[in-house]
Amino acid sequence: MGRYIVARVLLLIPVLIGVSIASFSLLHLIPGDPAVILGGSQATEADLAGIRKEFGLTDPLPVQYVRYVSQALHGKLGISIRTREPVADSLVDHLAFTLRLTMLSVFISMVVGVAAGVAAAMHHNSWLDSTLMVASLTGISMPGFWLGLLLLLIFAGTLRWLPAGGNSGWEALILPSVVLGTGGAAHIARMTRASMLEIIRQDYIRTLRANGIPEFLIIYKHALRNALNPVLTTVGLQFGYLLGGAVVVETIFSLPGMGQLLINAIFSRDYPIVQSGMLLLSVTFVSVNLLTDITYALVNPRIRY
C-alpha cells in the first residue's frame, strides 16, 4: 500500500509543473499592463517604470517564472499588485469559503446521485427509471449560470425565501450548492445505476436471494458496497469540476470565494493572485484525487497491485 501511495504522489509532480507553466504563460499572453491598471490614467511613464520594477515585471519571462516557482516552494506567494497585501492571506480567506461551498455541493451530489441511481437500478425499465434518467440527462445538459439565475429569480426574487448572495450565513450557500451539485448528482446517478445493474446480475447476488437474505440487506450491504467502486472515482473528478464551476457560481451569487477573487485579479492583471490562486486550486484538486485513489485502493484491494 505504501508503494502505491508513493507512486501516485510522484505522478502528481509533473501535473503540478505543467499547471504552473500553463497558468504563468497564459496569463502573460493576455493583453494589458498591470502597471497601467494600478497607476491609473494620471500615472507618468516614470511612475509606470517604478511599478514594473517593484514587482519584477521588467525581468525576462523565464526569470519571472523561476522566481515565482522558487517563492511558491518556500511558501512565499508574493504581494498583490492591486491591493499591496500578502497573496497568501487573501487566498486562505477566499479558499476556505470556496471549499465549504464545494464540499456541501459534493455532499448533495453524492446523496441525491447515489439514491437516484440505486432507485433507477432497482426499478430497471420502469417509469421511475425512465424519469430519473431523463432528469439526470437534463441535469448534465443544464448550464450552471442559467440554473443559478433561475433559482435566484424564484427563491430570492419572487418567494424571498433565501438570500440572493453574499456571506450572510449558511442560508447563502443553499442556492449556490444546489446549482453546483445538480450536474454532479446527475453524473453520479447514471454511474451508480450502471454499476448497480452490473452487480445485481451476478451469481453471488442470486445466491444471497436463494438463501433468504432480505432484499434490503442484499442491496445496501452487499451490492451497493461493490457498486460504489467506480462511483468513488466519479466523485473525486466531480470535486475538481465543482472547484472550476465555483468561479461562475460565485460570480452569479456575489460570494466571497476564489471565483470572485480570481476574476477581479484577471481584470486587474494581478499576476501574483492569479498564478498562486490557480496553483492552489490545482494542488487542492490533485490532493482530492490522491485521496480518492487511496480510498479506492482500500475499498478494492486489487487496485494496490
Structural contact between residues 81 and 241, judged by C-beta atoms closer than 8 angstroms: no
Residue 304 has pLDDT above 60, yes or no: no
Model confidence at 174, in pLDDT bands (50, 70, 90)?
A: confident
Residue 230's Cβ-count burial label (10 Å; 0-12, 13-18, 19+) is middle
Rounded Cα distance between 9 and 138, Å, is 37
Give me the pLDDT at residue 89, please.
79
Please report the domains of the chain, with CATH numbers, ordered by start residue.
2-73 (no CATH), 88-304 (1.10.3720.10)
pTM listed for this prediction: 0.75
Q: What is the CA radius of gyration of the chain?
A: 24
Query: Over pLDDT 90: what percentage of the chain?
Result: 1
Q: By three-state DSSP, how is residue 79 classified?
A: strand
Determine the 3-state secondary structure of 86 from DSSP.
strand
pLDDT at residue 203, as a whole number: 82
Residues 129-139, mean pLDDT to the nearest whole number: 88
Residue with more model confidence, 158 or 245: 158
Please state, in angstroms and rounded to a whole number, the distance separating the CA atoms of residues 292 and 285.
11
Set of cell numbers at residue 305:
497491485
Asked if the model's pLDDT at residue 91 lies above 80, the reply is yes
Average pLDDT, the chain: 79
Of 13-27, 35-49, 164-178, 251-265, the poorest mean pLDDT is in: 35-49
Question: Is 177 a residue whose pLDDT tops 70?
Answer: yes
Mean pLDDT of 142-156: 84
